Amino acid sequence: MQIIPAIDIIDGKCVRLTQGDYSQKKIYNENPLEVAKEFESAGINRLHLVDLDGAKAGAVKNWNVLESIATNTKLRIDFGGGIKQEDDLKIVLNSGASMATIGSLAVKKPDLFIEWVEKYGADRFFLGADVREEKIAIGGWMETTDVSIFDFLNGFIKKGITQIFCTDISKDGKLEGPAIELYKKMMLQISGLKLVASGGVSNMEDLEALKNIGCSGVIIGKAIYEGRITLEQLIKFM
Active site residues: 8, 130
CB < 8 Å & 24+ apart, contacts of 145-152? 145/107, 147/107, 149/182, 149/186, 150/186, 150/189, 150/190, 152/106, 152/107
Compute the distance between CA of residue 238 and CA of residue 44 in angstroms, rounded to an integer: 9
Compute the distance between CA of residue 102 and CA of residue 27 in angstroms, rounded to an integer: 25
Q: Max alpha carbon distance in the chain (Å)?
A: 44
Amino acid at 170: S
Residue 94: phi and psi, rounded to 5, are -75, -15
Cα-Cα end-to-end distance for the chain: 8
Compute the distance between CA of residue 180 and CA of residue 101 in angstroms, rounded to an integer: 23
* Strand boundaries in 89-192, DSSP class E: 99-102, 125-132, 135-138, 143-148, 164-168
